[in-house]
Amino acid sequence: MAKERLYLFDTTLRDGAQTNGVDFTLADKLAIAAMLDELGVDYVEGGYPGANATDTELFARDREFNTTFTAFGMTRRPGRSASNDPGLAALLEAKADAICFVAKSWDYHVRVALETTEEENIASIRDSVRAAKQRGPEVLLDCEHFFDGYKANPQFALACAKAAYDEGARWIVLCDTNGGTLPHEVETIVSEVVKTIPGSHIGIHAHNDTEQAVANSLAAVRAGARQIQGTLNGLGERCGNANLVSIIPTLKLKSEFSERFDIGVSDAQLKKLAQVSHALDERLNRAPNRNAPYVGESAFATKAGIHASAIAKDPATYEHVLPETIGNKRKVLVSEQAGKSNVLAELERIGIKADKDDPRIGRLLEIVKEREAIGYAYESAGASFELLARRTLGKVPNYFDVNQFDVNVEQRNNAKGERVTVTMAVVKVKVGDDNMISAAEGNGPVNALDLALRKDLGKYQKYIAGLKLIDYRVRILNSGTEAVTRVLIESEDETGERWITIGVSPNIIDASFQALMDSIIYKLVKSDAPA
Ligand SMILES: [Zn+2]
């Protein structure tokens, strides 16, 4: 039997942008859209052209996506004609494959918030959908507060939806805007709606205020809806939107859905899901949620003991799906043996030969565990792990010593009487028998320290001449009693090779210094610089 198609609509860049503390740049939006496109999401809602400069610029561009790139905006204002509404005009001008209008569908909101009549609200929907259809793109209508509206006045809520459908809108999206509706209510109400508008034209847009946005989305599908709206990692204002990162694998891996429905995400694309989820957190400079279903670091982690030994016999004993299917990993924490074999595998990957019975392997594992406990994350800093491994195995020469450094930040008036902040670093380095002092000014303490450190390394200078610092990320971790700072530095050399190093300390300059030192030494090791 042919499966029915379910469509995924991502609104990370529009509704997700309402999240407290999230502020997407144009580059962020393009990168996230590209990621969603590669994942196989059918619709990507990019933003609200006309509402802010970033979104206006985004929709002025040509883009090459397979996904239906969608612009969001309001229906015409009450009391205006569609041709005489600048907001609507900006939306219709946007370069978009689809337009998603939002309109009221709760009579109470029409009266109190919009201060207009029910008739005028419906006319505004009809006129706006018609005007958009004439321009060519696909049209969607988000029915704001649909479920609350339906409970208060089902005839009016349905009439709003029906007006858009009759004008040729491809999708009528039922929104649980306040997020307070429960799954059984969603199922009942959607079942009623699909008697008037075919389910193949109905979408669900759920918010997570009772932590049931995913359940509400699935309930709507059970009742006949065929489009699901949501965001990556459940981003969104208040408690967030329905989390597509949980919905996608549920649709792909749970037989109730996978036997009846196809989605645009292939099995191969599903394997990228964990990476997509983590890449979004990385871009937002947030720590990924370890306990996130399917993609979290702990989603398939089991503590040593009877579970672990059962998992070793057959993973299905304690896993509801296979972690590899969504690009995640099984993790058993951590019998000495399992830890050792992880470390050995990692050493082999980076080309360090080691004997499994070498006691130094056990010591390396201990050091990694100790350091990870205080905030180091060697998974994200491969170059620092490699150096740590080489050092523990006694394979890193002592190229140079930094005997002292000093960073000074000063705020003062310059000769023109302007307030300026000047940063200067002085570094004393010993290379062989030579003592050197370098000083540099920078646009901040870490920049000044980096410049001073790399200014003169004597005979090693030629090896690091092409070294560039290309990214610098800081995260404050609260581990135990005091906050510590974790710094990740990404470097690049003249060959284009990139590597990441890490430093952790209560002091941000110390943490940065560790990461800078690792980066330089990694480059010397990689270049086979003589000891
Ligand atoms: Zn919303």
- Ligand 1 centre from 141 Cα, in Å? 13
Closest by CA position to 226, among listed 195, 196, 194: 194
- Ligand 1 centre from 105 Cα, in Å? 14
Q: Quick one: tokens of 244?
A: 């597509």
Say whether pLDDT at 340 is over 90. Answer: no
- Ligand 1 centre from 20 Cα, in Å? 14
- Ligand 1 centre from 425 Cα, in Å? 49
- Ligand 1 centre from 265 Cα, in Å? 23
- Ligand 1 centre from 388 Cα, in Å? 47
- Ligand 1 centre from 248 Cα, in Å? 19
What pLDDT, on the 0 to 100 scale, is given for residue 286? 82
- Ligand 1 centre from 32 Cα, in Å? 19
What pLDDT, on the 0 to 100 scale, is given for residue 374? 87
What pLDDT, on the 0 to 100 scale, is given for residue 312? 65
- Ligand 1 centre from 242 Cα, in Å? 9
- Ligand 1 centre from 144 Cα, in Å? 8
- Ligand 1 centre from 175 Cα, in Å? 7
CA 455 – CA 426 distance, rounded (Å): 10
pTM for the full predicted model: 0.71
pLDDT for 232-259, tens place per residue?
999 999 999 999 999 999 999 999 999 9
387: Cβ contacts below 8 Å, ≥ 6 apart? 396, 501, 518, 521, 522, 525
- Ligand 1 centre from 229 Cα, in Å? 9
- Ligand 1 centre from 15 Cα, in Å? 5
CA 472 – CA 449 distance, rounded (Å): 13
- Ligand 1 centre from 72 Cα, in Å? 11
- Ligand 1 centre from 302 Cα, in Å? 36
Helix boundaries (H) for 94-179: 107-112, 118-135, 146-152, 154-166
- Ligand 1 centre from 223 Cα, in Å? 21
Say whether pLDDT at 308 is over 70. Answer: no
pLDDT for 102-155, tens place per residue?
999 999 999 988 889 999 999 999 999 999 999 989 999 999 999 999 999 999
pLDDT for 392-428, tens place per residue?
988 899 999 999 999 999 999 999 999 999 999 999 9
Q: What does the mean pLDDT of the chain come to? A: 92
Which residue is associated with the tokens 């896993």?
Answer: 319
What pLDDT, on the 0 to 100 scale, is given for residue 292? 97
Does residue 220 contact residue 150 with C-beta atoms inside 8 Å? no
- Ligand 1 centre from 491 Cα, in Å? 39
Say whether pLDDT at 303 is over 80. Answer: no
Say whether pLDDT at 437 is over 60. Answer: yes
pLDDT for 501-519, tens place per residue?
999 999 999 999 999 999 9
| Strand order, beta sheet including 482-492 | 468-479, 482-492, 498-505
Mean pLDDT, range 267-271, rounded to an integer: 97
- Ligand 1 centre from 343 Cα, in Å? 45
- Ligand 1 centre from 391 Cα, in Å? 52
CA 188 – CA 363 distance, rounded (Å): 60
Q: Which of the two residues, 390 and 311, has the higher pLDDT score?
A: 390
Give 306's pLDDT tier (boundaries 50, 70, 90). low
User: Over pLDDT 70: what percentage of the chain?
Assistant: 96
Side chain identity, residue 332: V
- Ligand 1 centre from 205 Cα, in Å? 7
- Ligand 1 centre from 421 Cα, in Å? 43
Give the distance, in angstroms, between the CA of residue 240 and the centroid of all CA atoms in the same chain.
14
CA 164 – CA 389 distance, rounded (Å): 63
> How far, in Å, are 30, 47, 57, 72, 339 from residue 62 at the CA level?
11, 15, 10, 17, 49
Which residue is associated with the tokens 């949501």?
Answer: 230
- Ligand 1 centre from 184 Cα, in Å? 20
- Ligand 1 centre from 177 Cα, in Å? 6
Closest by CA position to 263, among listed 207, 217, 321, 216: 217
What pLDDT, on the 0 to 100 scale, is given for residue 337? 57
Say whether pLDDT at 313 is over 80. Answer: no
Instruction: Return the CA Rg of the chain.
Output: 28
Closest by CA position to 170, among listed 227, 90, 251: 227
Mean pLDDT, range 359-388, rounded to an integer: 88
- Ligand 1 centre from 236 Cα, in Å? 8
Side chain identity, residue 460: Y
CA 460 – CA 313 distance, rounded (Å): 52
Say whether pLDDT at 338 is over 60. Answer: no
- Ligand 1 centre from 10 Cα, in Å? 11
Cβ atoms within 10 Å, residue 146:
28
**What is the b/e burial string over 202-221, where b = at least 16 CB atoms within 10 angstroms of the residue's CB?**
bbbbbbbbbebbbbbbbbbb
What pLDDT, on the 0 to 100 scale, is given for residue 197? 98
pLDDT for 376-393, tens place per residue?
988 778 899 999 999 998
- Ligand 1 centre from 517 Cα, in Å? 46
CA 127 – CA 83 distance, rounded (Å): 9
Helix (H, G, I), strand (E, B) or coil at 41: coil
Q: Quick one: tokens of 524?
A: 């010397």
- Ligand 1 centre from 207 Cα, in Å? 6
520: Cβ contacts below 8 Å, ≥ 6 apart? 453, 454, 457, 464, 467
Mean pLDDT, range 439-447, rounded to an integer: 93
Side chain identity, residue 5: R
- Ligand 1 centre from 228 Cα, in Å? 12
Helix (H, G, I), strand (E, B) or coil at 231: strand
Say whether pLDDT at 302 is over 80. Answer: no
